[in-house]
Amino acid sequence: MAEEKQFLLFEDNLKTLDINNRRYLGSKYRLLSFIHQVVEQNCSTNWDSILDLFAGTGVVASSFSGKKLMTNDILYSNYLCHAAWLGRGEIDEKKLAAFLTEYNQLNVSEENYMSENFGDTYFSSAVCRNIGAIREDIEKKYEEKELTFRERAVLIASLLYGIDRIANTCGHYDAWRSKEDRLSCLELFMPAFQPSFRTLGNQCFNEDANDLVLKVSADLVYIDPPYNSRQYCDTYHLLENVARWEKPKVFGKARKMDRNHLKSRYCTREAAAVFDELIQNIKARYILVSYNNMAENGNARSNAKITDTELLSILSKRGEVQVFSTNYKAFSTGRSWHPENEERLFLANIK
């Protein structure tokens, strides 16, 4: 994705980043024009709000400028990034830029939670000491009311994006590459806030999607759940750990914390039943679902949990369904691309 990363300078040599400048499994950044085309050609023009229920990076919600943007994700690390990019609170960009510049000059020698648990794994010990010290300082500044909730979210998001850029992995925290591949320098960038993100009463949530839909409504609900048995909390445990900063015990070679409370039912055999419950409870004019065609194409872990027949029959209970498709490259555990893989959008026009 290197070609998508175009960093600009903010002030004092502080580079800026965009919402899509991170590696994320299943990110729909490359599908945005397809999604917009389907919405523009098939939904009426007078709709006002979008709820991105499984928002991941938040790129889909953020692309609908001029609408009320609502995001949700079960992972707190994603929620903080949404709050940073799309949240409502005011932020003092000059103050944040000064903190980020300070963090970029750190060279910490004392050990801390990060170096003790992750030293010489995904990062060198020196980088871990800096990550731990920065995260601790953000929390201290927040507790001492030097930062608002959204400003804290901006600094943590900048740290998470910075970690992602140098982690010695393919972007998933299951294993690390050889020591020689480790980058030695952590550099934090300033999020480049787009005026189009500052729209009407944005809201960010951090809940199980099935619980949230009982409480909120939107004109367009966009649904992009995990397709297969790979749990996002397993893949991104390290980012979640840094975001939560509860300093839990970590286990095994990959140094994962206990993640039982973060497991998604969409990655299990219950997926179709859970999806049915979700769809029947949604209050919206349109439901747009992303789902690929990997039902039986990949290896066992890549196989989609919900079949096309199930998707169609569940959505049809709510109204007329149209299906749109495009070729899209899918990532598999073998790190190979399946060019024949197709990404589909199912649009239900609610009765």
Ligand X SMILES: C[S@@+](CC[C@H](N)C(=O)[O-])C[C@H]1O[C@@H](n2cnc3c(N)ncnc32)[C@H](O)[C@@H]1O
* Binding residues for ligand X (CB under 6 A): 24, 26-28, 54-57, 59-60, 72-75, 78, 208-209, 224-226, 232, 264, 266
Give strand ranges (E) for the chain: 8-9, 15-17, 49-52, 68-72, 190-191, 203-205, 220-223, 286-292, 319-327, 330-331, 337-338, 342-350
Q: How far is the CB of 28 from ligand X (least distance, A)?
A: 4
DSSP state of 29: G
Beta-carbon count within 10 A of 27 CB: 18
Q: How far is the CB of 171 from ligand X (least distance, A)?
A: 12
- Pairing mode, if any, of strands 203-205 and 220-223? unpaired
What gap in Å lies between CA 181 and CA 204, rounded to an integer? Answer: 36
Nearer CB in complex with ligand X: 56/87: 56
Nearer CB in complex with ligand X: 59/159: 59
Q: How far is the CB of 136 from ligand X (least distance, A)?
A: 25
Find, among 155, 177, 193, the residue nearest to 58 by Cα.
193
Nearer CB in complex with ligand X: 56/119: 56
CB 45 within 8 A of CB 63: no
Nearer CB in complex with ligand X: 182/265: 265
Phi, psi of 112 (to 5 degrees): -150, -175
Q: How far is the CB of 72 from ligand X (least distance, A)?
A: 6
Nearer CB in complex with ligand X: 304/321: 304
Nearer CB in complex with ligand X: 92/280: 280
What gap in Å lies between CA 189 and CA 101, rounded to an integer? Answer: 9
Q: How far is the CB of 55 from ligand X (least distance, A)?
A: 6
Nearer CB in complex with ligand X: 219/224: 224
The residue number whose beta carbon is nearest to ligand X equals 56
| Helical ranges in 119-229 per DSSP H | 125-143, 149-166, 209-212
Nearer CB in complex with ligand X: 29/189: 29
Q: Determine the 3-state secondary structure of 330 from DSSP.
A: strand
Q: How far is the CB of 111 from ligand X (least distance, A)?
A: 31
Nearer CB in complex with ligand X: 58/132: 58
CB 278 within 8 A of CB 209: yes
First-to-last C-alpha distance (Å) of the chain: 40
**Crossing angle of the two packed helices 76-86 and 149-166, in degrees rounded to 10:** 120
Q: How far is the CB of 24 from ligand X (least distance, A)?
A: 5
What gap in Å lies between CA 182 and CA 127, rounded to an integer? Answer: 10
Q: Determine the 3-state secondary structure of 311 from DSSP.
A: helix
Q: How far is the CB of 23 from ligand X (least distance, A)?
A: 11
Q: How far is the CB of 116 from ligand X (least distance, A)?
A: 27
- What b-and-e string marks burial along 59-74, b requiring 16 or more CB atoms within 10 Å of the CB? bbbbbbeebbbbbbbb
